[in-house]
Structures are given as C-alpha cells and as structure tokens.
Structure 1
C-alpha cells in the first residue's frame, strides 16, 4: 500500500533521514520505534507532505506522492494524528470532528461517521458541545484520532498517541487503535512506548539516528535482545 524508497530528509544542514526504505501492506498495523530524535516523527511528516525529501520516492497504492501537497495526500486517503494532538482548542468537540471532514461533501455520510466516532469514543459524545481546550489530555487524544478518521483514511498515521497519558488511558488508546484497524483502516504507528507498540503491531522498524537498523515481525523483535536492551528495559 505504502512504499518509501531510499528517503533522505534534511532540516537545513542536518541530515534527519538517511536513506530509509519501508513498506506498509493493506490491513496491517506497522510501528516505527526508536529513541527521541531517531527520525520517527520526521518519517510521518514526510509521508504527509509536511516535509519534502531531498532524495527518494514515496508511493501510495501505486501513485507517486513524493512532491504532492498535504491536502491532496489527505484526499488520496492518508490522515495523520500529530504528536501533541493539536486540537482546535476554541472550537467544540463536534466542530473539531466536522473539520476533519472538510474535504467531503456527503453530509448524510459525515453524520454517520460522527456517530461511528462516538461509538469508538463514548467520552466524546458526552463532551460534544464542550470546548476542546477544556478536555483532558486523554480526551484530546481521542478527539485528534476521531478527527483524523472523519476523512475516511485508508491509512492512518499516528504520532506518539500515548505521550503524556496515564497508563490506564494508554491501554484504552491502544485497544481503540486495534479496533480501528479491525474495521479496515491500515495503521502506521510511531510510538515511544515500544512495549505497547510491539504488542499490537504485525511488523516493526527500528530507527536509530535517521536509519532503519532492524525490521521484522513485531513479536520476534520484542524478543530480540538488542531491542529489549535498548527499548524495553532489558
């Protein structure tokens, strides 16, 4: 479904991604793990069109996305939940969800999709008229995910969904990610909590300083001594 081939990305003189290649197949949950500054978020921003690679190519369902504008990438079926959530704090929960469907014109279907989001995240239904800035961190994460789903993505990019959340909420968010995947959305997950990420993913890539150093089956990687020592606390 998604193929990155030899992607190089720079921030000014800093070589952030040094020739990464990866693929995501339809229906999978694939995770990118690695320490801070390894290039995980940079990889997602490059797929979303927010950063331009200097070299390499990105294809999605056979179409070249390497030089495509971000809103066009959303219309092709890729949606990103950014790190830090970035909900529109002075707008209500419902208004945030409606904004997620800004490229769509099918009003009746948009309503149905809002109901689907409320089924996944009952808390959002309870808070639908509330200003998003008054929500807790966990509720804002749910809203950011719900908003991304409103564009009906074929591929959902999740950047650090567990960041800053209490352990009980982390479990809840990860079980919802599995639920979203079961309903037919492919997921590419960037996550600092390697243990949780590997527990729900089929495959994983390990990034270190802008390079992929390991890849393979998530269960096997979780058992690997190198991964355990570096990311799972031994």
Structure 2
C-alpha cells in the first residue's frame, strides 16, 4: 500500500533522514521504534506531505506522493495524528470532528462516521459540546484520533499516541488502535512504548539517527537482543 524508497530529508543543513526505505501492506499495523530525535516524526511528516524529501520516493497505492500538498494527500486517503495531539482548543469536540471531514461532501457518510467515532470513544459523545481545550490529555488524544478518522483514511499515521497518558488510558488507546485496524484501516504507528507497540503490530522497523537499522516481524523484534537492550528495558 505504501512504499518509501531511499528518502533523504533535511532541516536546513541537518540531515534528519538518511536513505530511509520501508513498506506497508494493506491491512497491517506497522510500528516504528526509536529513541527521541531518531527521525520517526520526520518520516510521518514526509509521508503526509508536511515535509518534502530532498531525494527518494514515497509511493501510495501506485501514486507518487512525495512533495504533494498535505491536503491532497489527505484526499488520497492518508490521515496523520500528530505528536502532542494538536486539537483546536477553543472549538468544541463536535467542531473538531467536523473539521476532520472538511474535504468530504457525502453528508450521510459523515453522519455515519460521527457515530463510529462516538462508538469507539463514548467519552467524546459525553463531551461533544465541550471545548477541546478543557479535555484531559487522554480525551484530547481520543479526539485527535477521531478527527483523523473523520477523513475516512485508508492509512492512519499515529505519532506517539500514548505519550503522557496514564497506564490505564494507554491500554484503552491501544485497544482502539486494534479495533480501527480490524475495521480495515492500515496503520503506521510511531511509539516510544515499544512493548505495547510490538504487542499489537504485525511488523516493525527500528530507526536510529535517521536510518533504518533493523526490520522484521513484531515477534522477531521482540526477541532481538539489540531491541531488548535498547528499547525493552533489557527484559
């Protein structure tokens, strides 16, 4: 479904991604593991059109998308839930969700997706008239995910969904990620919590200082000594 081929991305003179390649098949959950500053968020931003690679290709369902405008990439079926949630804090929950469907014209389908989001996140239904800025961190994360789903993506990019959340909420968020995947949405997940990420992923890539240094099935990476030492706290 997605093929990233040898991309190089720079911030000014600093090279953030070096010849990064990866593939995602339809229906998979693929996770990217790496330390802070390894280039994981940069990779998601490049796929979703927020950054432009200097070299290399990004191919989505047969179309070259590297360098396309972010909104046309959303239209093609890729939604990005950014790190730090980025909800519109002075708008209500409902208005935030409406914005997720901004590029759509199918009123019935939008109504259906509102219900789907409220089914996944009943808390958002309770808070739908509340300003997003008054929600807890976990609720804002649910809203950011719900807003992305309102675009009806084929591929969902999730950047650190569990960051700063209480353990119980982390479990909820990961359960919902699995449910979203089971309804047919392919997922690329960036996550510091390697244990949780590998527990739900089909495959994984490890990225260090802008390079992919390891890849394999989630089970293989879970067993890898290198991954255990660096990301799983040595157990």
Q: Give the TM bin, normalised by the shorter chain.
A: over 0.9
Superposition TM-score, scaled by structure 2 size: 0.99
Contact 2:31 2:188 in 1 (8 A): yes
Q: Match for residue 201 of structure 2?
A: 201
Q: Match for residue 76 of structure 1?
A: 76
Q: Match for residue 227 of structure 2?
A: 227
Counterpart check, 1:119 vs 2:135: no
CA separation in 2, counterparts of 1:197 and 1:13? 32
Q: Match for residue 88 of structure 2?
A: 88
- Residue-by-residue CA offset, 1:39-74 (whole Å, 9 max, x unaligned): 000000000010000000000000000121000000
- Residue-by-residue CA offset, 1:70-99 (whole Å, 9 max, x unaligned): 000000000000000000000000000000
Q: Match for residue 136 of structure 1?
A: 136
Counterpart check, 1:148 vs 2:151: no
Q: Match for residue 38 of structure 2?
A: 38
Counterpart check, 1:103 vs 2:103: yes
Superposition TM-score, scaled by structure 1 size: 0.99
CA separation in 2, counterparts of 1:90 and 1:67? 31
CA separation in 2, counterparts of 1:73 and 1:197? 25
Task: Using the TM superposition, give the Cα deviation of residue 185 of structure 1 relative to its aligned residue in structure 2, in angstroms.
Answer: 0.1
CA separation in 2, counterparts of 1:166 and 1:76? 34
Within a 5 Å distance, the mapping from 1:56-71 to structure 2 comes to: 56-71=56-71
CA separation in 2, counterparts of 1:20 and 1:219? 22
The alignment's C-alpha RMSD in Å is 0.4
Gaps of 5+ in 1: none
Counterpart check, 1:170 vs 2:170: yes
- Residue-by-residue CA offset, 1:173-210 (whole Å, 9 max, x unaligned): 00000000000000000001111000000000000000
CA separation in 2, counterparts of 1:189 and 1:58? 17
Secondary structure, aligned partner of 1:49: coil
CA separation in 1, counterparts of 2:36 and 2:221? 19
Task: Using the TM superposition, give the Cα deviation of residue 107 of structure 1 relative to its aligned residue in structure 2, in angstroms.
Answer: 1.2
Secondary structure, aligned partner of 2:214: strand
CA separation in 1, counterparts of 2:132 and 2:67? 33
Q: Match for residue 14 of structure 2?
A: 14
Runs of 4+ in 1 over 4 A off after TM superposition: none
Contact 2:51 2:67 in 1 (8 A): no
Secondary structure, aligned partner of 2:15: strand
Gaps of 5+ in 2: none
Task: Using the TM superposition, give the Cα deviation of residue 112 of structure 1 relative to its aligned residue in structure 2, in angstroms.
Answer: 1.0
